[in-house]
């Protein structure tokens, strides 16, 4: 308990605001510490009072918080506050460099998928104890979508929803299959992907005992959260499914 409180203190005290040069970006870029001392960069889209439902947005492999530049404002318009997180396993997208990854490389730290677990956890703690919303919803893309099943198990009494965009059995955590963690989730779960990727997550999805739903497009669709980007011809199909799920959580 003392260690966790100390971690929380560090997370909150070391948060800071950076100047933002992207004119299309309407939020604030902040930083806080992971439990190994690495600085995590995130975009905070705080458009409503702090107690409003909050979505933490995690990106896919090779990407950055820039994955959500066109998505987060739409979630704000639906009544949600959001934070898009740079995890150390990533790079850049939409002209946004992953600063967490950049610093991890400069320090000689590993940047594989599971190395991002402390960053994902630290972002959750930052929101839970720093912003203190009444509801917390986790949203993952590709490898982070898979990690959401683990997070849903570890924090199964403290989450109000999970959205998982194109998860898969990419790895084990603590030598356990992700489907093992899926079986402990108690909050509502939404899963989507490209149509051909259904087989990658069906087994995990089937293990979830709580309320759940999924969406597959009529055409092939796209991998990860970029399925919602406006350049995806069937992005409206995805958005309709996402809105239906999120509205059920309010």
DSSP secondary structure of 159-194: -SEEEEES------BTTB-HHHHHTT--S-EEEE--
Which pLDDT belongs to residue 18?
39
Ordered by where they begin, the domains of the chain are 2-249 (3.40.50.1820)
Q: Give Cβ neighbours of residue 68 (< 8 Å, ≥ 6 apart).
A: 43, 57, 59, 82, 84, 225
pLDDT of residue 25: 84
Pairing between β-strand 212-215 and β-strand 189-192 as defined by DSSP bridges: parallel
The pLDDT assigned to 5 comes to 40
H or E element at residue 98: none
pLDDT at residue 6, rounded to an integer: 36
Task: Say whether 237 sits in a helix, a strand or coil.
Answer: helix
Q: Which residue has the tokens 């893309």?
A: 141
User: What's the pLDDT at 13?
Assistant: 42
CA distance 14 to 80: 25
238 Cβ neighbours under 8 A, 6+ residues apart = 192, 215, 217, 221, 227, 228, 232
φ/ψ (deg, to 5) at 39: -80, 125
What residues of the chain score a pLDDT lower than 70? 1-23
CB-CB contact of 85 with 119 (8 Å): yes
Model pLDDT, residue 23: 54
The DSSP output letter for 38 is: P
Residue-by-residue DSSP string for 185-208: --S-EEEE--GGGHHHHHHHHHH-
- Signed CA dihedral, 244, 116, 59, 238: sign only: negative
Which residue, among 46, 32, 44, has the nearest Cα to 119 in the 3D structure? 32
User: Cα 248–146–203 angle (5° rounding)?
Assistant: 85
């Amino acid at each position: 308990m003392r260690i966790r409180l100390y971690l929380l203190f560090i997370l909150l005290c070391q948060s800071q605001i950076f100047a933002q040069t992207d004119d299309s970006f309407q939020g604030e870029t902040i930083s806080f510490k992971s439990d190994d001392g690495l600085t995590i960069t995130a975009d905070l889209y705080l458009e409503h009072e702090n107690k409003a439902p909050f979505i933490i947005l995690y990106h896919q492999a090779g990407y950055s918080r820039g994955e959500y530049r066109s998505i987060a404002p739409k979630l704000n318009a639906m009544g949600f506050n959001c934070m898009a997180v740079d995890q150390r396993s990533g790079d850049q997208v939409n002209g946004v460099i992953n600063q967490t990854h950049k610093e991890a490389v400069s320090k000689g730290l590993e940047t594989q998928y599971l190395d991002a677990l402390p960053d994902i956890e630290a972002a959750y703690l930052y929101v839970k104890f720093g912003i203190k919303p009444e509801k917390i919803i986790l949203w993952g893309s590709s490898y982070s979508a898979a990690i959401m099943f683990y997070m849903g198990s570890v924090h199964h009494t403290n989450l109000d929803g999970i959205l998982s965009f194109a998860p898969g059995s990419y790895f084990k955590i603590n030598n356990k299959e992700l489907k093992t963690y899926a079986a402990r989730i108690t909050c509502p779960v939404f899963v989507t992907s490209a149509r051909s990727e259904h087989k990658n997550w069906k087994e995990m999805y089937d293990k979830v005992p709580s309320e759940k739903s999924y969406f597959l497009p009529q055409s092939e669709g796209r991998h990860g959260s970029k399925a919602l980007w406006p350049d995806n011809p069937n992005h409206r199909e995805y958005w309709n499914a996402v809105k239906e799920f999120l509205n059920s959580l309010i």
